[in-house]
Amino acid sequence: MSEKKLWGGRFKESTDKLVEQFTESVSYDKRLALVDIAGSIAHAEMLRKQGILTEEEAEKIINGLKEIQKEIEEGKFDWKVEYEDVHMNIEKRLTEKIGPVGGKLHTARSRNDQVATDVRLYVRNEVKEILNLLKELRKAFVEQAEKHLDVVMPGYTHLQIAQPVLYSHHMLAYYQMFKRDAERFEDSLKRINVSPLGSAALAGTSFPLDREYTARLLGFEDVTKNSLDAVSDRDFVAETIFNCAMVMMHLSRLSEELILWSTDEFNFIELPDAYCTGSSIMPQKKNPDVSELTRGKTGRVYGDLIAILTILKGLPLAYNRDMQEDKEPLFDAIDTVKLALKVNIGVVRNMKPKAERMREQARRGFSLATDVADYLAKKGIPFREAHRIVGELVAYCLENKKGLEDLSLDEFKKFSDAFEEDVLSLMSVEGSINSRNVTGGTAKQQVEKELQQIKEEEGFE
């Protein structure tokens, strides 16, 4: 049996060691230590302002907390499982250092509003880091687009060659994905950055607190409006994990393409050696392990999302111990997405497209068929009829082992009198690409316009 807990006055027996092992969270929530101390210092400052603590008491508590912070930062703090969590470890150490006055820190506060505050502070900090990484990744795609502005490649639907596009246009598609991810995280900050401190266990407190003052000290933009909701709300945790899952999904889509593109069958891209690995038995292999692991770790973050939603789905108001389980999926999702972003920034920055191979493939698969159909539509033929005519042209080409670009004007005219000499000038991938000169299209002029807008908005040089 272990020693009595700080909350053990009502209990006649000490907690069983196995129960301690089952219920402890300090092994992972100790990463909240610095935000826990920040919250405690702000709480002590407010208690002093309101006359709930004397000047001397507040000074002792704040100085003691700062000394504990230094111990933690220097790796000298002795974390103990028997004290359950990060909060009780710090509070116990505080009373060891400054005596019984340390127990006054918990006046008008519960671990329920304390942990809710800690997690919000932690998530706020991590979201800002993720936003910086997302910006770096977006910049890497912009660099790729600028460096290889004129490279042509096949665009796909159903993983079948569809129409030629610019490689730069393809890179900026990923820019847009990760821009949306950043917007989701930015928007989530207004729900994260709200202070629950002062809600106490569930009903508020009879002490005359100034919650708005504490919120200002901690950089929160507002305070929660309902104490029951404040201590039991983990929507912001679920939202953060969801946002991480979306980032991983986009990284996984990128990874899938890079894996395909680096095969001999596609041979579109050279991945940097520093981000690939070899085989233990086949000396010729260069494996895209970063991309494969990114794809695999995406499922892990999806698991974190399902975990938090399942933890929360049946909980009555207000706080329940189940909510202790919110931290491991949260920490795992954040750690995974940050590392995945860092390593994929390096991949994107250093990969090299194989321009000749891409251009060669862009001409295959009758990728200019839509251009021919559009040509007929511009001559006044209803598009559905034009679609049928070009379908017959493709069938003719397949039978005669030709491409559309190999056909003579006489062969075109066998299928429609609307074809004239100018149809032959359509038969180039560059012509096809630059004909799509609409906002958001793949024409070089549009890609240059998009790049300019991005650089102005983002401040990229």
Q: Which residues are catalytic?
A: 158, 279
Helix axes 55-73, 86-98, angle to 10 degrees: 120
Contact 94, 61 (CB under 8 A): yes
Which residues face 277 on adjacent strands? 287
Omega before residue 58 within 30° of 0, cis: no
Cα 93–99–100 angle (5° rounding)? 105
Which residues face 287 on adjacent strands? 277
For residue 417, which amino acid is it? Answer: D
Backbone conformation region of residue 104, classed left if phi is above 0, alpha if psi is from -120 to 50, else beta: alpha
Going by the DSSP 8-state scheme, the letter that residue 83 receives in this structure is G
Rounded-to-integer distance, Cα 47 and Cα 49, Å: 5
> How many Cα atoms within 13 Å fall on the side-chain side of residue 278?
6
The torsion angles phi and psi of 16, rounded to 5 degrees, stand at -65, 140
> How many Cα atoms within 13 Å fall on the side-chain side of residue 201?
3
Rounded-to-integer distance, Cα 141 and Cα 103, Å: 53
